[in-house]
Chain A
Amino acid sequence: MSAVELLQTKFPEEVVEVVEFRGDTTVVVKPGRIVEICQTLRDDPDLSFRYLSMIAGLDHLPQSPRFGLVYNLYSHKNHDRITLKTYLSSDTNPVIDSVTPVWNTANWHEREIFDLMGIRFHGHPDLRRILMPADWVGHPQRKDYPLRGK
């Protein structure tokens, strides 16, 4: 069973859309059960997506939903990649569950997104700024943040 089929069978309510573009498979899911989805992909013995390549934050201002997250997963078993994409429900107070319990490497990726995008991760063990100074105001990667400071 492919990753897409598995997600469609186990989480029929969560999968919104499957996009194929230039050989990359992206599964758009709802944000609510992201941790369960990631855990399923990691623990399935055939798929074995045990490696989180990266998490990227997206800001689609002025569209709504404004904030999106992209999880790029890799399976060493099948040498296969899958991208999970989710859009957050709130444009003003974006928050999602942390996947740090699933992969330790998510810790710094989520800190970076919190720092630069202002998305909060519920259940993250150590959610602080990472690249910007601790007393920085604003989130530089947001689209309404000017390139040359305020």
Chain B
Amino acid sequence: MNQAGTMPRTETMLLNVGPQHPSTHGVLRVLVELDGELIVRADPDIGYLHRGIEKMCEYRTYHKCLPLMNRLDYLAGEVNNLGFCLAVEKLLGVEIPKRAQYIRVMLAEFTRIASHLFWLGTHGHDLGAMTPLFYAFREREKVMDLCEMVAGARMFPLYLRIGGLAADLPEGFLPAAWEFVKTFPERWHDYDNLLTKNEIWLARTKDVGVMTRDEVLDWGWSGPMARGSGVDWDLRRDNPYSSYEEFEFEVPLGVNGDTFHRYWVRMREMLQSNRIIAQALEKIEQTPPGDIKCADPRVSLPPKERVYTEIEALIHHFLIIQEGIKPPQGEVYQAIEAPKGEMGFFVVSDGGPQPFRVKVRAPSFVVLASLDKLSRGRLLADMIALIGTMDIVLADVDR
């Protein structure tokens, strides 16, 4: 107390974090109100990466939307395309060949591993562990190489098509994929050894950002974020798509719902993904090569030799190229288990060649909404752990 007998006045401080800051994983800006080092309020300011993807979709044909979808969660481009392709295929009511479905599953799981590895490396880096980044990126690089083999691009592989795939797997892909699958569990132990029992890691992640099961549902969390709190829910198992029902895998669960349990869920998920890839590769080897497109002439381009020899095939080719695919009038919602949680595509068709409306249910956007709730009363340094555990990609948040 001062001489006048009153308590000294304290004020909270407003701190600007981002939008250009290494630990905000892109262009996230958070306005943080601080009382000393404790967070009173955290207000995420998003939209720096808003490209209006949903709006742009309304002005182009369904196929031309695919490159845009790649750029939602750019760490898992193939998974976004899978969701959108499945939504449009559902709208069209077409079934695609098993081989294409298995290849899609395999790529989705490879992408999940790559996305989780990126999360692991950067999350560790944010909290002061430099080494896991190098190990994680070592294997991520291998996945990128595989993406490059099938699609020619690393970050934005454009390999999926509505009604199937762009081409069959290139020569040499399967041995390279098997090589990854066989070595990955061993590599996985490198990350495990570095972090799981690391005391600094435990101190920074245990009991940070605890969410109960009820809160998880209320805040719309999905994927590994929800499973960290023990919500036993995986869309691959509970609402299977793309033949996931034929695969055997476990759904790792956490108990405490803190940052450490979410870490541990994602870690074990990588091994399960590896298991799925091994099964998918076996299934791919058992299916006839080249069977990668649905036969529906409204959806898939006919083979070139038929286009040159048959008038009917030429017309179908011409219609798809000139006008685009025209799904019937209606609306569908297709959700898939993306690496970051439930990625949903709500597609409305008015019968024309362009979607009437595309709404993307982005897992990162939903999870980021709870940053304020989680960080209140915590240290500023914990907020960095929270942003890391959310595994957000700002391109997915802002769309």
Residues on A lying within 8 angstroms of B by beta carbon are 21-24, 26, 50-54, 56, 58-59, 70, 72, 76, 79, 81, 83, 103-105, 107-109, 112, 116, 130-133, 140-141, 145, 147
Contacts and interface: CB of A to CB of B under 8 A. Distances in A.
Interface stretch (B10-18, B213-221, B281-289): B213-221
A72 to B, nearest CB: 6
B233 interface: yes
B176 interface: no
Contact of A56 (B55, B357, B365): B357
Given A24-B333, A130-B46, A140 B55 contact: yes
- Most chain B CB atoms below 10 A, which of A21, A23, A56, A81: A56
A56 B359 contact: yes
**Nearest 6 A/B pairs, CB to CB:** A105-B220, A56-B359, A131-B47, A54-B361, A108-B369, A79-B238
Interface string B22-59: 00000000000000000000000011001010111001
B90 interface: yes
A108 to B, nearest CB: 4
Nearest to A111: B369
Interface string B331-358: 1110100000010101010000000010
7 contacts: A22-B91, A53-B333, A79-B238, A105-B369, A108-B365, A132-B47, A147-B59
B396 interface: no
A52 B220 contact: yes
A116 B47 CA distance: 12
Contacts of A108: 365-366, 368-369
Interface of A is mostly: mixed
B342 A130 contact: no
A116 to B, nearest CB: 8
B303 interface: no
A76 to B, nearest CB: 5
- Most chain A CB atoms below 10 A, which of B220, B342, B398: B220
Contacts of B231: 76
Contacts of A70: 331, 346, 359
Given A26-B331, A51-B217, 6 more contacts: A53-B220, A53-B333, A53-B361, A83-B333, A130-B46, A131-B46
A147 B55 contact: yes
B128 interface: no
B50 A131 contact: yes
- Most chain A CB atoms below 10 A, which of B90, B346, B368: B346
The bracket for how many chain B residues form the interface is 35 or more
Contacts of A83: 333
Nearest to A115: B47
Given A21-B331, A54-B359, A72 B52 contact: no
Contact of B217 (A54, A76, A130, A131): A76
Interface in B231-256: 231, 233, 238-239
A131 B398 contact: yes
B361 A72 contact: yes
Contacts of B93: 22
Given A54-B361, A105-B218, A132-B50, A147 B56 contact: yes
Given A132-B47, A141-B55, A51 B332 contact: no
A122 to B, nearest CB: 20
Contacts of A140: 52, 55
Interface string B89-121: 011010000000000000000000000000000
Nearest to B233: A76
A84 B329 CA distance: 18
A108 B332 CA distance: 22
B330 interface: yes
Interface in B37-86: 46-47, 50, 52, 54-56, 59
Contact of B366 (A50, A56, A81, A105): A105
A12 B264 CA distance: 48
A52 B335 CA distance: 13
Nearest to B237: A79
A72 B370 CA distance: 19
A76 B220 CA distance: 12
A58 B355 CA distance: 12
Nearest to B214: A50
Contacts of B333: 24, 53, 72, 81, 83
A117 to B, nearest CB: 11
A73 B373 CA distance: 23
A131 B46 CA distance: 6
B344 A72 contact: yes
A37 B73 CA distance: 33
